[in-house]
Chains A and B, each alone.
Chain A
């Protein structure tokens, strides 16, 4: 099994490396909104002193850490896999004795992540000097505690996206469904603004959803803003949602493969 992953890594790394120019473009594209949100909220905080307890530096550090957490926990499985179901190229992968999404698809995503994080680092350092964040609140325990959370959050996100991608077995409009899912993430993850600034109702719902584990929870954990109780609760939620994601994905995938019609074969 280890050898399989090693070979898959070599293949997928080489493939992603081929597209490094596109990848830089993607990175640039993805960077713009967090920087705009950062600019909007720091300008408000600068005028008012603080917004609901958040100072300008709080916003700067929040979005600077968000850039890293988002790269750690997000995935692109919808773009790399849905078309394979639609045009029938999945057939070749289904014959192999390994799970297409949990081996090849996963390694492909991770290779993509590693490359984008490599590309992000120099940009992040430039932004660091442009915005001059003060990271004095960051403690090493928070950073260490956030790593397992980000790994688990990546797997939760990957499995949920993979489940949505698998809807391509039934419908060609899977991209629209994914767009809706993306809007849910935007609403409940803390991507637009730290969750305490959201309307009360959204905060209450967000607590029980997995999306805050992608961004808000690890960011606040790194910045040292969570109490022990909140950290424990976050870990419990991560465990629960990992189980839900595994079960959901497995079920959708199994039903989907039965449905698969191997277009073009």
Chain B
């Protein structure tokens, strides 16, 4: 329960912070809509020239866009702003105060900064997924939808774990403030099914920087392309990676020696 209280407190503080820049919020939402327009236009251009992309239809790509936006929202609403704050706190030593709190430091580092206006993207993403699923010709069954949701969550946990490991490396290499660029750079690969990429790129986005695990794979579950064993594997991988990430985080914390004090 304490966790929820803390979350709502963080949320409140961040809402207040963004209320100071109301006009910026409006501009940001307009720009966000502009990019949505561009994304739909680019899908339109692709499907004016072909009927399927790697066997996927327009509806499925719209649903994929929705999942992509979901993952992207997690990145922009939590991961980027908190990375910035974290890197800063390692450099100037204000990490001290985070560690002193009687709550898991990993929790604090994940949630203390929230880009609140991005939450509206969750609505957009949901609409895109629902519309996309309805547009695709094949009928989807309830278990498929459930595995889709499950795998979207496991995918995000895997990416989150990778993020924790990447920023924890900063404890050892203080000047490692490019720690998340690689994650940021490959993000765009989530807009299209990884199955159309050449093998080397598919390997990178599946196994090394697993963007596809949170975007393409859940959609494949929705299309009923995954076996029960594969689904179990992804689930197990997410549990293991979360466990490994929290271990690395703790090891990193022991390494931390402060900066100024």
Contact = CB atoms under 8 A, between A and B. Distances in A.
Contacts of A48: 50
Given A40-B192, A43-B53, A176-B28, A183 B198 contact: no
Contacts of B52: 47
B58 to A, nearest CB: 13
Interface stretch (A31-39, A207-215, A223-231, A250-258): A31-39
B48 interface: yes
Contact of A192 (B28, B45, B54): B45
Given A179-B31, A180-B31, A180-B34, A52 B49 contact: yes
Nearest to B198: A39
Contact residue range for chain B?
Answer: 20 to 34
A96 B34 CA distance: 40
B126 to A, nearest CB: 24
A32 B182 CA distance: 10
B53 to A, nearest CB: 6
A47 B44 CA distance: 18
Interface in A20-34: 21-22, 25, 28-29, 31-33
Contacts of B24: 173, 176
Interface stretch (A69-77, A102-110, A193-201): A193-201
B188 A36 contact: yes
Contact of A183 (B35, B182, B191): B35
B53 A36 contact: no
B200 A44 contact: no
B38 interface: yes
Contacts of A21: 178
Given A28-B182, A32-B186, A32-B189, A44 B197 contact: no
Nearest to B186: A32
Contacts of A22: 178
Contact of A39 (B35, B181, B185, B197): B197
B50 A51 contact: yes
Contacts of A179: 31
Contacts of B184: 29
Nearest to A29: B185
Contact of B185 (A32, A51, A180, A193): A32
A52 B181 CA distance: 36
B185 A28 contact: yes
Given A44-B50, A173-B27, A183-B34, A199 B188 contact: no
B31 A44 contact: no
B189 A36 contact: yes
B201 A39 contact: yes
Interface string A165-196: 00000000100100110010011000011000
B42 interface: yes
A130 interface: yes
A198 B44 CA distance: 10
A176 B31 contact: yes
B212 to A, nearest CB: 12
Contacts of B48: 197, 199
Interface string B13-31: 0000000000110011001
A34 to B, nearest CB: 10
A28 B183 CA distance: 11
B196 A32 contact: no
Nearest to A186: B38
B71 to A, nearest CB: 15
B46 interface: yes
Given A21-B178, A28-B181, A35 B49 contact: no
Interface of B: 23-24, 27-28, 31, 34-35, 38, 41-42, 44-46, 48-50, 52-54, 178, 181-182, 184-186, 188-189, 191-192, 196-198, 200-201
6 contacts: A36-B197, A39-B192, A39-B196, A176-B27, A179-B31, A183-B34
Given A51-B49, A51-B50, 5 more contacts: A28-B182, A36-B189, A39-B196, A39-B197, A44-B49
The 6 A-B residue pairs with the shortest CB-CB distance in the complex, in nearest-first order: A43-B196, A29-B185, A25-B181, A44-B50, A39-B197, A51-B49
